[in-house]
Structure 1
């Protein structure tokens, strides 16, 4: 295992809060981890297990000694118990339409126990233990924006209204005792500005830059813009790796971890294409003021050659690109919303370089992404009819723009399960012939039901499965490792799986962790017998397949270290 680059604050995502213990010895860092929306023409959420985290750090140590991930909402506050290794975590948010949803969570970091002492609670904005440690005092929002206890006009006062809640605490909270019910009393209503007068921290608009600055100062780290999720990785040759994330257009690292190239400018890098020459897809979002205008930003393609980036295409709208080694590049336009653009694009980088406008049908970020790059053919997904998102088929677009249909993603049986969503895949060419591996999930209209996902291999030109497995999460990345005859698949629950490409036999299935805390592999690329990996918390690593096969721990985890 070779670590190419680590984030400055290990084990964190986008830092949203920094809360020191009363004695100043421990810092609780609250962070939020990205969803897989990269570029904006891809959206894949199903089964993601890491969204919010509270991690604990000691002074001078940028690696957490404990972390808690089992949180469902934004983290608003963290309070330390005066004598016990316990924190209270206030979480919640407005659902965007009516309700203020929340949780109050207690976490014992020594025994790694947690409890939710309240059966149901609206958004918890602030929390603290009283001086004795025998109670948790909180400020919460109303149940919803039209709650009858609010003064008129309710819609205007809901967001400025807070209600005190006091809950008894003892160590028995972690023994599975019943949760309590709470009632909000209209007569106890406070306005947001009154929180400080009642001994709580000021309630201000969340500012991630300020939270990062406080965390860096406390940890005695240089002030810098922190790197978060790695969006894509791609081998340029066997010694150089291209990387993109939200803080750059492109970075290039060698195998010693030295950064040999870095490019910055408007926008950020989203995808690395295995075209000839290799290209980076750069997203230039519209200004914030224009988010709801017909203008949807710009997608640029830049060739990576001789240590420079050279623009080869610029297209208004939100696109995702795939390429072939021959120099053909296909750009699919996200139609929801499409903005001023109306068609997909087909480029021949080895020829004239001009973009041909073609219409391959409807595209939306949940239904039509497939992400097969570097194959001898340009694959895409198309509904039936092509204006639809249903009954999707795998297709190939020819250099002329003509379409050749391969097979349906799932057999049509008239149920929701025959509708595939949040897919990705890779091309396979081996002794079993040419084929495609596809991962995705079966559509389920009830969000409370478990994720039912899949990964399978089918042959090209024949609607025939060579193998199939059920999975608990969608894949973030799938790669063929031809030197080993393996498929590597990373899933949003943190699992990395190695399967024999020919028959699908699972040789390795483990969940990734870094410095003892869980992570998710967001992107992956293969070269020889090595995998380059980029994680949701900003680590870039290279690992040999042989190392992985030997590195699985008895508890089902493996370490990216």
Structure 2
């Protein structure tokens, strides 16, 4: 296990941050513990999907006052039910979702060991109840919702008996023993105490923060961030939130202007149901002052976009809607006005994400004109010059191994110009239909002149963010790992975990804030000032 990063300060911290939005909870007065099932925000927006190989569901076990998290579990499926054993230090956990897949877990609160009690993971465990010390009543979702009648049975009941539940073993209940067919039982009503607990957790003032999509340091030590529900917020170096601009779904990208006195914020959200169907909303890209958050300029391209910036102030807004006929890209000049529209080809969030930090050029991923998701190329766009329209130059294919000829997809990137020459360092993955396999993620340094790889670093998880100080490339992964790579050679300088109070957190954004200092935005809404 890698050593944790050294944490200097946490911004936006609060009780129960690790579990996101609570969906179920149960308190045990005997043990003085509170168990909460919850869900973190989804690491996806129209411009990017960062959730390959990642699960958003969590179970946290806390002291009754919420001061300390004893256990934190990551569940592959949503958490449906939690019940403490009446006399032993055990927590039964039922999981599952609309796919009817799920599992029955047993957490030993002393050792931290987790056992999946039932063989297989293809049943939604929707309810649990301890009848006595040796008997657990399990309720399973029916495999066909058409079998449900209003007011009638809504679950399948099964009883498991065990003389010593601390000795429960993996898969001790055979899959064929679990009942199938029409429902034969009513789910037990939630105890009043559970209802009150969940209501308290849901409506307390520390309502969950979610998904810090971008974080940027300012020269005076303040920190900008954008997250779900917040277009832009600003923190003082001593941990006080100075101001925040609320905005619908919140921001997704921050692009500081060259003078660092303002920042463009991309608020591209999803379509919304208004009772009369799904409709798109306006997608303004606002330029906000870093001193107070006042809106200085607005560009509304009319559609959801993914943004790319050049360090001289040129901004590109690329239509990131899926399956759009003749999508366009909007160029915004350093004078903050729309300068041109041109066609760059189709975009989808699983393939074409390539936000390049510190770049002197506007760089994109472009697919085949007839099949945009195939044959990705790195391309450069020159802004209009006088009467000349924007020009698109193909630089090199994303796939560098012609013998392998795999379809690679993009990820976060940085531009370098050092003793080894100008280069693009980018993350990406080898798509696999059933998730990421070990070694399916990579970081590569590519020569800008022809795309030749100087080095390639392989990983087992998807990269969520990248930045550089010119000598080291820092990469955050959705597994909680942060890796520091030698910019010229690709060798590993450091491998650390983002661990807060002993629990691994999920990094979503990362920025170099000084020598050996990183700012990391997490999926659970915290901003971590740390050293590596």
TM-score, length-scaled by structure 2: 0.88
Q: Which runs of 4+ in 1 moved over 3 A?
A: 153-160, 171-179, 185-188, 210-213, 283-287, 290-294, 411-415, 446-451
The corresponding residue for 2:396 is 407
CA distance in 1: counterparts of 2:230 and 2:295, whole angstroms: 13
Q: Is the 8 A contact 2:464 2:507 kept in 1?
A: yes
1:514-547 CA distance string (max 9 Å, x none): 1111111110112331221111222212224xxx
CA distance in 2: counterparts of 1:284 and 1:384, whole angstroms: 26
The corresponding residue for 2:348 is 364
Structure 1 counterpart SS, 2:274: helix
Q: Is the 8 A contact 1:474 1:491 kept in 2?
A: yes
Work out whether 1:76 is the aligned partner of 2:80.
yes
Note the C-alpha offset of 1:225. Answer: 2.6
Residues 294 and 265 (structure 1), Cα distance of their counterparts in 2 relative to 1, 3 Å cut: closer
Query: Which of 417, 430, 442 matches 2:430?
Result: 442
CA distance in 1: counterparts of 2:197 and 2:13, whole angstroms: 16
CA distance in 2: counterparts of 1:349 and 1:290, whole angstroms: 41
Structure 2 counterpart SS, 1:462: coil
The corresponding residue for 1:201 is 190
Query: Which of 91, 94, 109 matches 1:90?
Result: 94
Structure 2 counterpart SS, 1:346: strand
The corresponding residue for 1:309 is 295
Q: How does 1:135-214 map to 2 (within 5 A)?
A: 135-145=135-145, 154=147, 161-169=154-162, 170-171=164-165, 173-176=167-170, 178-181=172-175, 182-184=177-179, 186=181, 189-190=184-185, 194-196=186-188, 200-201=189-190, 213-214=199-200
Q: Is the 8 A contact 1:7 1:227 kept in 2?
A: no
Structure 1 counterpart SS, 2:230: coil
The corresponding residue for 2:387 is none
Structure 2 counterpart SS, 1:423: coil
Note the C-alpha offset of 1:374. Answer: 3.7
Q: How does 1:277-426 map to 2 (within 5 A)?
A: 277-283=262-268, 285-289=270-274, 293=278, 295=280, 297-307=282-292, 308-336=294-322, 338=324, 342-350=327-335, 353-385=337-369, 387-400=371-384, 401-411=390-400, 413=402, 418-426=406-414
The corresponding residue for 1:241 is 223
Q: Is the 8 A contact 1:162 1:189 kept in 2?
A: yes
The corresponding residue for 1:148 is none
Work out whether 1:461 is the aligned partner of 2:449.
yes
Note the C-alpha offset of 1:325. Answer: 2.4
CA distance in 2: counterparts of 1:15 and 1:111, whole angstroms: 25
Work out whether 1:57 is the aligned partner of 2:62.
yes
CA distance in 2: counterparts of 1:291 and 1:506, whole angstroms: 54
Q: Is the 8 A contact 2:157 2:184 kept in 1?
A: yes
Cα RMSD for the two superposed structures = 2.9
1:111-138 CA distance string (max 9 Å, x none): 111111111352111112222x212211
Q: Is the 8 A contact 1:325 1:375 kept in 2?
A: yes
Q: Is the 8 A contact 1:320 1:331 kept in 2?
A: yes
The corresponding residue for 1:553 is none
Query: Which of 491, 497, 501 matches 2:483?
Result: 497
Structure 1 counterpart SS, 2:201: helix
Note the C-alpha offset of 1:155. Answer: 8.0
Structure 2 counterpart SS, 1:325: coil
The corresponding residue for 1:117 is 117
CA distance in 1: counterparts of 2:468 and 2:342, whole angstroms: 29
Q: Is the 8 A contact 1:113 1:174 kept in 2?
A: no
1:81-133 CA distance string (max 9 Å, x none): 011111000110112xxxx11211111021111111111352111112222x2
Residues 236 and 350 (structure 1), Cα distance of their counterparts in 2 relative to 1, 3 Å cut: farther
The corresponding residue for 1:45 is 51
In structure 2, stretches of 5+ residues that fail to align are: 1-6, 385-389
CA distance in 2: counterparts of 1:17 and 1:306, whole angstroms: 40
CA distance in 2: counterparts of 1:463 and 1:158, whole angstroms: 64
Note the C-alpha offset of 1:300. Answer: 2.2
1:149-200 CA distance string (max 9 Å, x none): xxxx54878997311111123336445574423232658613xxx434xxx4
Structure 2 counterpart SS, 1:215: helix
Q: Is the 8 A contact 1:108 1:114 kept in 2?
A: yes
CA distance in 2: counterparts of 1:159 and 1:105, whole angstroms: 28
Structure 2 counterpart SS, 1:249: strand
Residues 156 and 426 (structure 1), Cα distance of their counterparts in 2 relative to 1, 3 Å cut: farther
CA distance in 2: counterparts of 1:341 and 1:406, whole angstroms: 22
Q: Is the 8 A contact 2:383 2:391 kept in 1?
A: yes
In structure 1, stretches of 5+ residues that fail to align are: 146-152, 549-561
Q: Is the 8 A contact 1:116 1:179 kept in 2?
A: no
CA distance in 1: counterparts of 2:350 and 2:182, whole angstroms: 46
Q: Is the 8 A contact 1:275 1:324 kept in 2?
A: no
The corresponding residue for 2:129 is 128
Q: Greater shift after overlay, 278-287 or 327-336?
A: 278-287
Residues 124 and 494 (structure 1), Cα distance of their counterparts in 2 relative to 1, 3 Å cut: same
Residues 154 and 185 (structure 1), Cα distance of their counterparts in 2 relative to 1, 3 Å cut: closer
Query: Which of 482, 495, 512 matches 2:498?
Result: 512
